[in-house]
A = this chain, B = another copy of it.
């Protein structure tokens, strides 16, 4: 496979381009988009757009622009979104619960994003066994088995900070490869796992600087 080691800064912008392209495709499938328009709608300069697209091997036509559908498909392909991606959530408290509902709702409406929530886990016996939109909350004890049984390699982590490192080590054992971490703590990534930290509080504090 031709993963030519594209820098992460570029990868990070691809979902944003893709989001814009989906919108353009709805309005005018079969049409073309320039780096100027795509950049405008993505918050990126036209030069940057061309540099990024050229880095991933997407090609446009001089004088015209990029074919919307082809470019969209290219991006989906690179981001692995042309296959079904199964996701589990660990930690179904306030936040995990909300994220679960959000994903279910969003990817129900959404056309064909192959992002599918397949499992929920918690270690609190009081909520294990409950259901969210038909998905049962499993005991964290059975995590490893469920992961291979259901075949998900991506996990959303919404447990308390104190438990997060322990849980991520379990994820590693279970063959998980990517983790979106909502716990307010920086985790040491075990070998073979990619972690992205995200924290509403951190975002708010960052913004607070600009008040």
Binding site for B on A (CB under 8 A): 11-12, 14-16, 18-20, 41-43, 78-81, 85, 87, 94-95, 97-99, 101-103, 105-106, 115, 153-154, 156, 177-180, 184-186, 194, 196-211
Contacts of A211 in B (CB 8 A): 80, 85, 153-154, 177-178
Report the bound CA distance from A180 to B14 in whole Å.
21
Contacts of A205 in B (CB 8 A): 14-15, 18, 79, 81, 115
Tell me whether B153 and A42 are in contact (CB under 8 A): no
Tell me whether B98 and A206 are in contact (CB under 8 A): no
Contacts of A11 in B (CB 8 A): 206, 209
Q: How far is the CB of A41 from chain B (nearest CB, A)?
A: 6
Contacts of A179 in B (CB 8 A): 207
Report the bound CA distance from A18 to B103 in whole Å.
30
Q: Return the contact of A196 from the options B18, B42, B85, B207 (Cβ within 8 A).
A: B207
Tell me whether B98 and A210 are in contact (CB under 8 A): no
Count of chain copies:
2
Report the bound CA distance from A91 to B114 in whole Å.
27
A15, A78, A81, A184 pick with most chain B CB within 10 angstroms:
A15
Tell me whether B81 and A208 are in contact (CB under 8 A): yes
Contacts of A178 in B (CB 8 A): 207-208, 210-211
Q: How far is the CB of A1 from chain B (nearest CB, A)?
A: 12
Report the bound CA distance from A151 to B68 in whole Å.
45
Q: Return the contact of A95 from the options B20, B98, B210 (Cβ within 8 A).
A: B98
Closest residue of chain B to A104, judged by CB?
A: B94
Q: Besides the contacts A80-B209, A98-B101, what 8 more A-B pairs have beta carbons closer than 8 Å?
A: A14-B205, A19-B184, A98-B102, A103-B200, A153-B211, A177-B210, A178-B210, A194-B207
23 pairs, CB–CB < 8 Å, chain A vs chain B: A12-B206, A15-B202, A15-B205, A15-B206, A16-B202, A19-B201, A43-B186, A87-B204, A95-B102, A98-B101, A99-B200, A102-B200, A115-B201, A115-B205, A154-B204, A154-B207, A154-B208, A177-B210, A194-B207, A196-B203, A196-B206, A196-B207, A198-B203
